[in-house]
Structure 1
């Protein structure tokens, strides 16, 4: 990521910022899907695997890589399932899902599911790489 993009992503409060693990082939594929979706131009995407990435206050590199984070337009940092709902809320085709994901019971179930996924992620990534032939950086 170029310095101007990194600077823009960190200091432009008019855009929500998506922090993702570009070293994870599954994560790259998922973010690629979002980036190709209409409305994605309203988001800033920060690949945490790029050297020199600046993180917002209160977010360590280890925490950023451990789970998905999005900084909302107002600067509020959200993680886990709530971060997906925040991301989806900016993409017109995904807004309905974002509304449903914010219902209290659904939000709780999504967060629990996401936490289970995080524990299984290494195996899921291994399987994804084997099935798709995508390389890990």
Structure 2
């Protein structure tokens, strides 16, 4: 992993893939040095986390530090000029805690359960 900011995401998850592909296209169009790694590829080995842990929430490495969940989103958004205002808003005291609760206890678990269901059933759609 040579880029200072790298994103680990599940390209097999239609929701995750759509969101991260949007960020990736924006980063490429803007000339931003952000790397994107699919957890279903050989790139996962460099992250020192297993595929199941990686599938549970967004992970970002920035300047050698690993972030997961809302802190990972905040790091990613701060790296992209278009999303810096969103990072500032979500990073505000109170809002950050509410966003983390919503992501950690509602959204991420729902998306993860869908991921497990898709794996078990072989269904690649939402």
Superposed displacement of residue 26, structure 1: 1.0
Aligned partner of residue 99 in structure 2, secondary structure? helix
| Higher alpha-carbon deviation: 36-45 or 90-99 | 36-45
1:17-96 alignment runs, 5 A limit: 17-37=6-26, 38-39=29-30, 41-51=32-42, 53-57=44-48, 59-72=49-62, 74-96=63-85
CA distance in 2, matches of 1:16, 1:40: 13
Flag the structure with higher helix content.
Answer: 2
**Which sections of structure 2, spanning at least 5 residues, go unmatched?**
118-123
**Which sections of structure 1, spanning at least 5 residues, go unmatched?**
1-9, 127-134
* 1:97 paired residue number: 86
Superposed displacement of residue 55, structure 1: 3.0
Aligned partner of residue 18 in structure 2, secondary structure? helix
CA distance in 1, matches of 2:96, 2:20: 21
Question: Cα distance 1:40–1:62, how it changes in 2: closer, same or farther (>3 A)?
Answer: farther
Number of residue-to-residue matches in the alignment: 116
Mapped contact 1:69–1:80 kept (Cα < 8 A): yes
CA distance in 1, matches of 2:56, 2:96: 19
Q: CA RMSD in A?
A: 2.5
